[in-house]
């Protein structure tokens, strides 16, 4: 029988890779705090971008897709949802808004978890929102040789109430223990939530929302400015493989949490790297608008739109951004992806180099 107890995080069962990531995150977090004090307006705009990217990425992980323009209109309530997928997108947006705004007052307990789930599905007409599951399911995948293997065998619906109560209680005990690193505790709790799989649907999305809640409450709030969910989506196969590996022997308490902890911390560390790379000042000089635009594109891990550049640097006009991007394209420093209003831009690794390139951080 599964026992929810995180005291093992004080032992030597944690891998060296995980411990190294833990140290790296603690170091880089301080740089983010300094940047937020230096660029408050920029951080405010990054928060808006992160929310929208998180809504898109977390739903895409579960096969729910919509264009950037449509997601933006759905979030802003400018259009009505056209299908159930878009209704779920609105629900996710509503929950993430609540977390971003009120995380300090939102406790990790069954009421909040069920309320998140109810909000997630409230626009869909599905009447099971906020209710624990009433049937069992086993998650499998097809292998290349034609066989199938189990990825996750969740807790039975008959034991869900008891499991969720034990999970919340174990977290409350562990969070009060100062000898347990919170960045090790949070992914373990999230993984156990996934193994319980308390709802008929939406468990993956709820797990990522709870990840944000617990990270924010424990002062790891980089996900407010760079989408944590987008980092997971970028390496979705590794994410699912870490779940599969950690679930082996989970129900008899002999599983290894390290693969999921490492995947979780790698995603978090990527957020810090991307955030801090946007604010690296070369030789302490004030950068021109062109250099800021160029470096924002080059240092973004994912293709970025003109509108997102303007949100990062609101003092730069849309017309200036348009002109600079045209110049950078002509100089072969960046590449264009897509057309018209949906176009995005990324670094052209095979184009010309610049004098400042040696001073830049490449990720």
Q: Select from 280, 336, 284 the least CA-distant residue to 306.
A: 336
Question: Which residues contact residue 295 at a Cβ distance below 8 angstroms, ignoring those fewer than 6 apart?
Answer: 278, 287, 360
pLDDT at residue 94 above 90? yes
The token pair at 285 is 């000089």
The token pair at 146 is 């034609």
Beta strands 148-152 and 334-337, pairing class: unpaired
Question: Which residues contact residue 318 at a Cβ distance below 8 angstroms, ignoring those fewer than 6 apart?
Answer: 306, 310
Residue 124 CA, distance from chain mean position: 23
CB 230 within 8 A of CB 51: no
Encode pLDDT of 293-345 as tens digits.
Answer: 998 888 776 788 898 888 777 778 999 999 999 999 999 999 999 887 679 99
Q: One fold for both 7-277 and 289-359?
A: no
Average pLDDT over residues 106-130: 97
Q: Please give the C-alpha separations between residue 277 and each of 30, 158, 201, 298, in angstroms, as whole numbers.
A: 14, 48, 37, 10
Burial group, residue 352, by CB count within 10 angstroms (0-12, 13-18, 19+): exposed
Encode pLDDT of 121-175 as tens digits.
Answer: 999 999 999 999 999 999 888 888 989 988 889 999 999 999 999 999 999 999 9
Tell me which fold the domain 289-359 belongs to: Arc Repressor Mutant, subunit A (1.10.10)
Which of the pair, 165 or 274, is modelled with greater confidence?
165
Q: What pLDDT, on a 0 to 100 scale, did the predictor assign at position 356?
A: 40
Q: Which CATH architecture has domain 7-277?
A: Orthogonal Bundle (1.10)
pLDDT at residue 363 above 50? no
Q: Which helix (H) or strand (E) is 260 found in, with range?
A: helix 258-277
Average pLDDT over residues 92-120: 98
CB 112 within 8 A of CB 76: no
Q: What pLDDT, on a 0 to 100 scale, did the predictor assign at position 278?
A: 64
Question: How far is the C-alpha of 121 from the C-alpha of 129, rounded, in Å?
Answer: 6
CB 25 within 8 A of CB 31: no
Question: How far is the C-alpha of 102 from the C-alpha of 153, rounded, in Å?
Answer: 34
pLDDT at residue 6 above 60? yes
How many other CB atoms are there within 10 angstroms of residue 242's CB atom? 22
CB 194 within 8 A of CB 260: no
Q: What pLDDT, on a 0 to 100 scale, did the predictor assign at position 298?
A: 85
Q: Select from 67, 210, 58, 199 the least CA-distant residue to 136.
A: 199
Q: What percent of the chain has pLDDT over 70?
A: 91
Encode pLDDT of 13-61 as tens digits.
Answer: 899 999 999 999 988 887 766 667 767 777 888 898 899 999 999 999 9
The token pair at 26 is 């603690």
Question: How far is the C-alpha of 140 from the C-alpha of 45, rounded, in Å?
Answer: 40
Q: Please give the C-alpha separations between residue 317 and each of 28, 199, 285, 310, in angstroms, as whole numbers.
A: 31, 46, 21, 7
Mean pLDDT of the chain: 89
Helices 318-330 & 289-299 angle (0-180, nearest 10): 70
pLDDT at residue 277 above 80? no
Question: Which residues contact residue 78 at a Cβ distance below 8 angstroms, ignoring those fewer than 6 apart?
Answer: none
Q: What pLDDT, on a 0 to 100 scale, did the predictor assign at position 44?
A: 84
Task: Delimit the domains of the chain by residue range.
Answer: 7-277, 289-359
Q: What pLDDT, on a 0 to 100 scale, did the predictor assign at position 5?
A: 97
**pTM (whole model) above 0.95:** no
């Amino acid at each position: 029988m599964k026992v929810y107890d995180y005291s093992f995080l004080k032992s030597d069962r944690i891998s060296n890779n995980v411990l190294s990531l833990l140290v790296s995150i603690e170091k880089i977090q301080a740089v983010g705090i300094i940047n937020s004090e230096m660029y408050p307006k920029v951080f405010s705009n990054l928060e808006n971008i992160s929310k929208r990217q998180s809504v898109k990425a977390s739903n895409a992980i579960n096969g729910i897709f919509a264009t950037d323009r449509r997601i933006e209109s759905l979030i802003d309530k400018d259009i009505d949802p056209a299908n159930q997928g878009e209704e779920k997108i609105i629900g996710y947006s509503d929950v993430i808004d609540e977390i971003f705004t009120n995380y300090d007052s939102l406790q990790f307990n069954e009421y909040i978890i069920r309320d998140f789930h109810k909000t997630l599905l409230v626009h869909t007409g599905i009447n099971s929102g906020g209710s624990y599951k009433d049937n069992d399911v086993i998650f499998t995948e097809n292998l290349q040789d034609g066989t199938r293997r189990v990825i996750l065998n969740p807790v039975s619906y008959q034991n869900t109430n008891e499991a969720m109560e034990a999970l919340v209680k174990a977290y409350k005990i562990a969070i009060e223990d100062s000898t347990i690193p919170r960045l090790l505790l949070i992914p373990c709790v999230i993984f156990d939530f996934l193994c319980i799989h308390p709802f008929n649907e939406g468990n993956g999305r709820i797990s990522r929302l709870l990840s944000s809640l617990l990270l924010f409450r424990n002062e790891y709030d980089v996900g407010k400015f760079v989408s944590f969910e987008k980092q997971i989506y970028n390496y979705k196969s590794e994410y699912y493989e870490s779940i599969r590996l950690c679930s082996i022997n989970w129900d008899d308490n002999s599983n290894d949490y390290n693969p999921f902890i490492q995947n979780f911390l790698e995603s978090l560390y990527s957020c810090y790297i991307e955030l801090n790379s946007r604010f690296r000042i070369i030789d302490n000089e004030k950068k021109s608008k062109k250099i800021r635009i160029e470096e924002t594109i080059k240092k973004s891990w994912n293709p970025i739109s003109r509108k997102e550049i303007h949100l990062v640097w609101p003092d730069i006009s849309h017309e200036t951004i348009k002109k600079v991007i045209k110049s950078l394209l002509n100089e072969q420093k960046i590449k264009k992806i897509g057309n018209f209003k949906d176009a995005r831009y990324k670094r052209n690794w095979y184009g010309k180099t610049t004098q400042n390139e040696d001073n830049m951080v490449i990720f």
